[in-house]
Structure 1
């Protein structure tokens, strides 16, 4: 059937070659709806060093950045944009961190972490020395 029609044979070969070389695209449209997995390192193993946590309420936004032995609480007022920072020294024994303020007029905080969940973000909540809720829940970003 193709005998005597070399142009058709060449065209068909080129089309097949192009399809093979281009392959499938990388968009993975069906995978676009798949869940987002928590790919952050496990704090139960490596601790809080180099982690960042964020949260907000109607009054201010809070960013907490942990270093080796200290952490910074960076507050930003939502209405004025005014910034304020508190520094704490901390100890961490999973899942509890004890935060001791550098400024002695502030109270000691106890933070409890929830981590290791595949489909949910790591969380941290705070209580004061009398076990009253302090601040609000923050979510780990880094």
Structure 2
């Protein structure tokens, strides 16, 4: 569903029901040896709401609200990583590499820097997928 807010700003509010898509991964760059604690899966098990918006230049921005536990993990991860680079990927394909400018202490945050709305939609599809750890628990 696309909702017009202003003539220049459109908001896409997806259906957040789970799909079989692989989750998106938020990971700190350069921490390969640090283990899974340095990454967070972005999926229906960790994301409460997600929406795509166009920023003032017309590029896509994704606004996410995490669950309380995922928000606490994101706060701990980004508090220890200010100034460092992260990456957000889907199936090993990196969609964006944001630099952590401030700790994400709230459960809500925005992802900008995506090149196209197709990339934003791919990320949204991944966010609607189940977390790998959760899939393993139910199988």
TM-score (norm 2): 0.28
Higher helix residue share: 2
Whose RCO is larger (CA < 8 A, sep 6+)?
Answer: 2
The structure having more radius of gyration, on CA atoms, is 1
Higher strand residue share: 1
